[in-house]
Amino acid sequence: MKGLVSTIDIRGQCEITTSQEFRDLYPNRKLPEFRWLKINGKTAIDDFSLDKEHNLIVSESAKAMLAKFKINNCDMKKYEGINKIEATV
């Protein structure tokens, strides 16, 4: 876990806004608290990194750690060229 944490920085709360369409569709929906996860890793080298299009790239061990949380809205695919997983929300 220590190696995983060195490539991310969990910052404080972040400001989340909703669109008028969201408020119209979900007038009573309360959003959960969000945190900013800053990615510091080198692309496809570290456990957490970003590619040129800002997609999140994670190692298998990082994926296993993330699977302990609610990631059912995350699309994943194998990252080309190296044994990593590309995740988009």
Domain ranges of the chain: 2-88
Along the 89 residues of the chain, how does pLDDT read in single tens digits? 445 556 777 777 788 899 999 999 999 998 888 888 888 888 878 888 888 888 888 888 888 888 888 777 788 888 775 555 555 54
Contact 56, 39 (CB under 8 A): yes
Stated as kind and residue range, the H or E segment containing 22 is: helix 20-25
**pTM higher than 0.85:** no
- Separation in Å, CA 87 to CA 19, 22, 34, 39, 49: 24, 24, 18, 13, 11
